[in-house]
Amino acid sequence: LGDDLYISRDRFTLIKGDGHMGYTKGFERIDSFGRGGNDVAELHGTTGDDKFISTDKYAALITEFRITYTKGFESLSAHAVAGGTDTAHYFGLLSGDEFTGAGNLAAVARAITSRTASAYGFEKVDIYASEDESPELTLAAIDYILNEDIVWV
User: pTM for the complete prediction?
Assistant: 0.90
Closest C-alpha to 43, from 65, 71, 70: 70
Distance CA 136, CA 98 (A): 5
Q: Which tens digit of pLDDT belongs to each residue from 23-79?
A: 888 888 888 888 777 899 999 999 999 999 999 999 999 998 889 999 989 999 999
Cα–Cα distance list, 35 to 1, 79, 144 (Å): 6, 23, 33
Q: Which tens digit of pLDDT belongs to each residue from 75-111?
A: 999 999 988 999 999 999 999 999 999 999 999 999 9
Q: Cβ(30)–Cβ(13) under 8 Å?
A: yes
DSSP 106-127: EEEE-TTT--EEEEES-SEEEE
